[in-house]
Structures are given as structure tokens and as C-alpha cells.
């Protein structure tokens, strides 16, 4: 089905991109970019996640960053590349769509 997002694709990963699917991803890089906050109209530093083999990046909010710190065991975001996580669509407390980050299950046959 055609979509306006086919005409104007975003470089940012959104909950609608995931739909009902859960994606297992590997963090390739974490960068800091100054992005405009639409509420304040000011630029603010944001953590940006890039994923191995994926074209879209994820702008992290505070909750997502805290989830990654917990699942990687480090609040040092430069230590996050190489970690796997699961991304799924969810709803934030403000009833807005969001991306939920959870730990990826370890494959018990990976070292077999």
C-alpha cells in the first residue's frame, strides 16, 4: 500500500516503522547530535543509536537511554556498541507512540 512516508522518508526510526514486529538489533555506534526540540525551538544534545545493517537511526529519550544503561550494565554510552537489544512499538505514559528497548535473549546454541 502506498504511503506518504514512501515519498518523504525519515532518517529516524519511529514506532510505526516497527508495527507489530519486534526487531533484534545490534548497536553499531552511539553519537551525540544537536537536534531542535519542537517544544522549546532550541537545539539540545541527543543520543543517536545506529544499528548494524540498518539505515534508520534512533533518537533516544531519557527512558530509552536508561533502559540501555541497565541492559548493557553501563551508563557510559561509548560502551554500548556491540550489544544486542530488542526494539518494539509501545505507548509512552503520555499516550504517544514510542519504541520500547528490552534485553535480547541469549541464544544458548551460539557457543555450541
Domain ranges of the chain: 11-103
Which has the minimum average pLDDT: 4-8, 17-21, 23-27?
4-8
Strand ranges inside 1-112, DSSP E: 23-37, 42-51, 58-59, 84-91, 97-103
Q: Which residues pair with 84 in a beta bridge?
A: 26
Name the pLDDT band for 112 (thresholds 50, 70, 90). very low
Who's near 8: CB < 8 A, 6+ residues apart?
none
Q: Looking at the predicted structure, is the pLDDT value of residue 17 above 70?
A: yes
Half-sphere exposure of 26 (CA within 13 A, CB side): 5
Q: Is 56 helix (H, G, I), strand (E, B) or coil?
A: coil
Amino acid at each position: 500500500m502506498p504511503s506518504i512516508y514512501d515519498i518523504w522518508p525519515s532518517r529516524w526510526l519511529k514506532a510505526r516503522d516497527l508495527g507489530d514486529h519486534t526487531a533484534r538489533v545490534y548497536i553499531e555506534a552511539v553519537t551525540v547530535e544537536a537536534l531542535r526540540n519542537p517544544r522549546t525551538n532550541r537545539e539540545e544534545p541527543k543520543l543517536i543509536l545506529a544499528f548494524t545493517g540498518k539505515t534508520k537511526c534512533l533518537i533516544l529519550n531519557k527512558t530509552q537511554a536508561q533502559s540501555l544503561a541497565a541492559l548493557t550494565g553501563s551508563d557510559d554510552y561509548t560502551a554500548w556498541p556491540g550489544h544486542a537489544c530488542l526494539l518494539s512499538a509501545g505507548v509512552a505514559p503520555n499516550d504517544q507512540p514510542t519504541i520500547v528497548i528490552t534485553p535480547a535473549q541469549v541464544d544458548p546454541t551460539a557457543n555450541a
